[in-house]
Amino acid sequence: MNFLEIAKSAKLASLEIAGLSEDIRNQALISIANILEDHKNEIFEANKLDLENARILVESGKLSQQTFNRLKLDENKMRDMIQGIRDVAKLPDPINKILFKRELDKDLVLTKITCPIGVLGIIFEARPDVISQISSLAIKSGNAVILKGGKESVNTNKTILSLINSALDNVKNFPKNVLSQVFTHEDIAEMLKCDEFINLIIPRGGNKLVQYIKENTKIPVLGHASGICHAFVDESANLEMAQRIIIDAKTQYPSACNSIETLLIHDKFPQKDELLASLELSDIKLINNPERWDFEYGDKILAFKTVKDVDEAIKHINTYGSGHTDCIITESRENAEKFMNNVDSAGVYFNASTRFADGFRYGFGAEVGISTNKTHSRGPVGLDGLTIYKYKLMGNGHIVKDYAEGKKHFTHRDI
Amino acid sequence: MNFLEIAKSAKLASLEIAGLSEDIRNQALISIANILEDHKNEIFEANKLDLENARILVESGKLSQQTFNRLKLDENKMRDMIQGIRDVAKLPDPINKILFKRELDKDLVLTKITCPIGVLGIIFEARPDVISQISSLAIKSGNAVILKGGKESVNTNKTILSLINSALDNVKNFPKNVLSQVFTHEDIAEMLKCDEFINLIIPRGGNKLVQYIKENTKIPVLGHASGICHAFVDESANLEMAQRIIIDAKTQYPSACNSIETLLIHDKFPQKDELLASLELSDIKLINNPERWDFEYGDKILAFKTVKDVDEAIKHINTYGSGHTDCIITESRENAEKFMNNVDSAGVYFNASTRFADGFRYGFGAEVGISTNKTHSRGPVGLDGLTIYKYKLMGNGHIVKDYAEGKKHFTHRDI
């Protein structure tokens, strides 16, 4: 099958899975978890093959050790992967949720109800655990998926998806072609053009991948190309709190998108030197007034600058930030409110580390990704981000003419 | 100012208007309504100029009479236009609405709250009443707007926007540059490329305009390129109800996007001939098995075909429809449910005319447009479609390390 045929099949599958009961969708997830558990040695074998090929690339400098590590599946990762699928099965159903029910007139009832989006295109890099994670989120939310993984993990990916699909074959009434996989770079190009059949692209990988995808498709992309997060230490900040939050937000996981890249300090904050010294003691390399303010270090490096007030901090963040997550450390409720109302980011924090920006920490149960978009989904995205809604109208021969002519009148009463 | 400067100013204005109180936003709307009322003769004068120019174009066959009619502002349209602004002022505030409030842990509270999207790009054709309508919806929802109207109404548009902006100049604390206007075809091209500053494009015009815009931008577009709506008459349908609904859905306003283009009839529906005859008596021209099923007639023309069951009807609609609004006419609840669950459209109707697909009829108070998108907003879109949300996190020095190390645990309790 060429890409267009795969996409058409996925579209048809999406129409079928959309109508499946919650019970069948959850049963499918349990079957997937079981088959992966029963056949994990096959997956380890396939992964070993990928690791052997990758090792050669690492030795010749063509692949980073980091990518190699992400590629590796061990017992712990496998256990988390399988548990992750079981956890998704236990989450509340994100579809068929009634958002409102409204009587428009006697015997004319409008219901707004959540439903799947359709076909998701997933483009991910070396982490093979993405397959089972995204597949389970898609099945839970009634969507079909086309997966394109990194070439380094091709054997692992093929083995995992073929196990998953053989599990699905045995689930009664589960449609064919809900999950499919493509492999070539040309497939990515085709996917990005395929707005007729693909409704949402979710990239899982580094900034360059996401940037490339966003620049080359008209299909909505759920994700963030960069995470330029800020901490602003206000005049009245508590020193100990500022130290604690900044050290957490920079060092707890420096390459995470929700780690801070820039520290802004109020020029009247009295303990500035103490604060900076303590950050350096925590292995943070400080850069005073760097050339670029929109750079993601992804390391224990922190740009810093003094600002004259909270307004200048807000302006700096709205100019150079990526709209991801930014925090103010202050004892002034008034400044905190001003900051949170005026910083145009998905997450605006008061006296808390930016590292909290995460679907699990927000209590979503699962995370689809973190979005810096201004439409559909923003910030950490749970299963809700894979749904949209439709309007169901139940009438009894109602026609618009009667209302246009004033013979009948709308009641518009929520029920 | 060139387009980029206008867009940058709009972006800055969007950050300012986002923080305005509901009171100031509503005050701005009242001021706009008042100034338009007080200066309506100036608007009529400008409109007269546009109509004189347009009349020449109509006479030389360069402009349709339809466009000419849409261009014309009379006392009725003006009254509706001004009343529309006052109505928007009375609607509940769409921003600063708390979607949830959750305790993540003691003294760590997450709030999901609605906020404006940012900058809207509006591209519209000859109807000058769009300016005041979209401007009032944008102000109500705290967004900035760049408007590009049709060249036929340039004098009317300029006069209306300059009156609106002089009203806004007199509203205390209302920021500059919330509403701006551009005029050339090059400005459209610039707007569609300007994804750095423009967050949402709303086209108001014919299919060709919307199609062109959707094909030429990566910015999310709220709208629909076509409305291929269907009615399916099931085996058990009540004849009188079928006649009434189909005649309404086709003739009440044939050029509306929610009018039906295709009639599907169950081949065992016993009164097929009677039904078709009655439609022809209502001036509907029936076309049996046309060459194209995805064509929008926009006139009293209706394609029709017999199908063997509800499944074939669903398949036809999902293949050739535009995902707008489709209805089933049946006495079978089971078939109605099947149809409504499996037809992948924004509106799925049972025994009611597709013409109900409209923001006002749904009780939204205002309509931004009708969307056939599968993300953000679907179907008739009210003020909600001009909002997104942000997450506010209020802590007391909380850091992620404590949770990663198991020293603290999330409570995730909605409050």
Put simply, the answer to whether A391 touches B340 (Cβ < 8 Å) is no
Q: Which residues of chain B lie closer than 8 angstroms to A218, CB-CB?
A: 214-215, 217-218
pLDDT confidence tier of residue A67, bands split at 50, 70 and 90 = confident
Amino acid type, B66: Q
Q: Which residues of chain A lie closer than 8 angstroms to B396, CB-CB?
A: 241, 351-352
Q: Does A223 lie at the interface with B, CB-CB under 8 angstroms? A: no
Put simply, the answer to whether B353 touches A399 (Cβ < 8 Å) is yes
Residue A85 has pLDDT above 80, yes or no: yes
Rounded distance between C-alpha atoms, residue A163 and residue A181, angstroms: 13
Residue B410, pLDDT score = 97
Average pLDDT, chain A: 95
pLDDT confidence tier of residue A127, bands split at 50, 70 and 90 = confident
Put simply, the answer to whether B348 touches A393 (Cβ < 8 Å) is yes
Considering only residues 194 to 213 of chain B, which have any Cβ-Cβ distance to chain A shorter than 8 Å? 199-200
Query: How far from B234 is each of A200, B36, B365, CA to CA, in Å?
Result: 34, 51, 34
Q: Which residue, among A197, A16, A399, has the nearest Cα to B231 in the 3D structure?
A: A399
Residue A125 has pLDDT above 90, yes or no: no
Q: What is the tens place of the pLDDT at every residue in B148-176?
A: 999 999 999 999 999 999 999 999 999 99
Rounded distance between C-alpha atoms, residue B115 and residue A364, angstroms: 21
What are the sequence ranges of the domains in chain A?
3-222+368-390, 229-356
Residue B40 has pLDDT above 90, yes or no: yes
Residue B207, pLDDT score = 85
Paired strand residues for B116:
B387
Q: Does B61 lie at the interface with A, CB-CB under 8 angstroms? A: no
Put simply, the answer to whether B353 touches A410 (Cβ < 8 Å) is no
CATH architecture of B229-356: 3-Layer(aba) Sandwich (3.40)
Rounded distance between C-alpha atoms, residue A161 and residue A180, angstroms: 8
Angle between helices B154-169 and B129-140 (to 10 degrees): 30
Q: What is the tens place of the pLDDT at every residue in A258-292?
A: 999 999 999 999 999 999 999 999 999 999 999 99
Q: Which residue, among A328, A326, A329, has the nearest Cα to A259 in the 3D structure?
A: A326
Rounded distance between C-alpha atoms, residue B348 and residue B339, angstroms: 8
Determine the average pLDDT of the residues in A197-213.
92
Rounded to a whole number of angstroms, the distance from the CA of B155 to the nearest CA of chain A is 32
For the record, the structure tokens of A227 come out as 């995470």
Q: Which residues of chain A lie closer than 8 angstroms to B388, CB-CB?
A: 374-375, 378
Per CATH, the homologous superfamily of domain A3-222+368-390 is: Aldehyde Dehydrogenase; Chain A, domain 1 (3.40.605.10)
Average pLDDT, chain B: 95
B199 close to A375: Cβ distance less than 8 angstroms: yes
Whether the complex's predicted ipTM is more than 0.85 is answered with yes
Domain B3-222 has CATH 3.10.105.10: no
